[in-house]
Amino acid sequence: MLARSTSRAIVTDRCASLGCSVCRGIDSAIKQELERLARVRRYAAGETVFGEEEEIPFVGNVVSGVLRMQKTIPDGRQQIVGLLVPSDMFGRVFSHRSQVSIEAATPVTLCCYSRRAFEALLGRFPALEHRMLLSILDELDAAQDWMMLLGCQTVMERVATFLLIVRGRSPGLSAPAPNRPTSYEIEVPINRRDMAAYLGTTAESISRSIQEMARQGVLRIADACHFEILNERQLIWLSGRGEAERRPERQLLIA
């Protein structure tokens, strides 16, 4: 009990002040209301927070761990349409049923608000709803980037892009370093199977791409989840966003 309420206090504090991106810079009246609503939930790796087509009883933000948002077709194929890391909001406001299932990819701690209550709050505080809008627009931009990745990039490019994203989120970059000795050690927080489902490929292909990068000296493999990036420029080039050194320029061949 004690331990529980202690952690709750800590966690709800983080929800409102550190945690969810929509709450940043929001006035304290709203923060207080949010704290009042907040309830902590924990899930073990592999547990389902809610399934596809299910009711959405609550929304909230991730305190620790990683969630995957995924969709499944009847024959069993799965696609991860988003990963949720600490400070991300999860759930879906203003919709009865979820279009995705949300599952714990690692053990997670969530800070949850009743969906109804949260929606009511959005109605009462337009500034909060505005924050929400901005945050969803960012998600939409990210979704479009991912469509491009899935629609027309090679597996190697996808893996490189993913590693760069992980690198971008890893500590050392979050704090604006003065002299930029940004940590070149990254930790991939999910296993190969989930990476594959996220990148629209297979665990085998992921493995081959990473080993190939190591062979090229782009990175060093400490263990399956820990890498040291040795040649960031090359990694960026592999991701397909390079300057396009020698590209054919096909369209302007009209004499």
Which chain residues interact with its own copies by CB under 8 A? 69, 71, 73-79, 81-82, 92-95, 99-100, 123, 126, 129-130, 132-134, 136-137, 139-141, 143-148, 150-153, 199-200, 240-244, 247-251
| Residue 92, contacted partner among DNA, its own copies, none, CB below 5-8 A by kind | its own copies
Cα angle for residues 11, 106, 39 (degrees, 5° grid) = 25
Side by side, which strands form the sheet with 185-187?
Answer: 185-187, 226-229, 219-223
User: Tokens 């004690």 map to which residue?
Assistant: 2
Interface residues for DNA in 114-173 (CB under 7 A)? 154-156
User: What is the largest distance, in Å, between two alpha-carbon atoms of the chain?
Assistant: 80
Is 160 in contact with 240 (CB distance < 8 Å)?
yes
| Residue 206, contacted partner among DNA, its own copies, none, CB below 5-8 A by kind | DNA
| Residue 193, contacted partner among its own copies, DNA, none, CB below 5-8 A by kind | DNA
Stretch touching DNA by CB under 7 A, among 48-56, 83-91, 124-132, 220-228: 220-228
| Residue 155, contacted partner among its own copies, DNA, none, CB below 5-8 A by kind | DNA
Of these, 16, 80, 210, 213, which contacts DNA (CB under 7 A)?
210
Buried b or exposed e, range 169-196, using 16+ CB within 10 angstroms: ebeeeeeeeeeeeeebebebbbebebbb
| Residue 164, contacted partner among DNA, its own copies, none, CB below 5-8 A by kind | none
Token digits of residue 225? 């989840």
Element (H, E) at 81: strand 78-84
Give the pairing of strands 226-229 and 219-223.
antiparallel
CB of 135 to its own copies, least distance (A): 10
Is 86 in contact with 17 (CB distance < 8 Å)?
no
Q: Which is nearer to DNA, 210 or 218 (CB)?
A: 210
CB of 168 to DNA, least distance (A): 21
What CA–CA distance (Å, rounded) separates 32 from 29? 5
Of these, 87, 135, 207, 234, which contacts DNA (CB under 7 A)?
207
Of these, 205, 219, 229, 235, which contacts DNA (CB under 7 A)?
205
Is there binding between residue 208 and DNA (CB under 7 A)?
Answer: yes
Is 189 in contact with 106 (CB distance < 8 Å)?
yes
CB of 31 to DNA, least distance (A): 37
Which residues contribute to the site for DNA (CB under 7 A)?
A: 154-156, 191-193, 200-208, 210-211, 221, 223-225
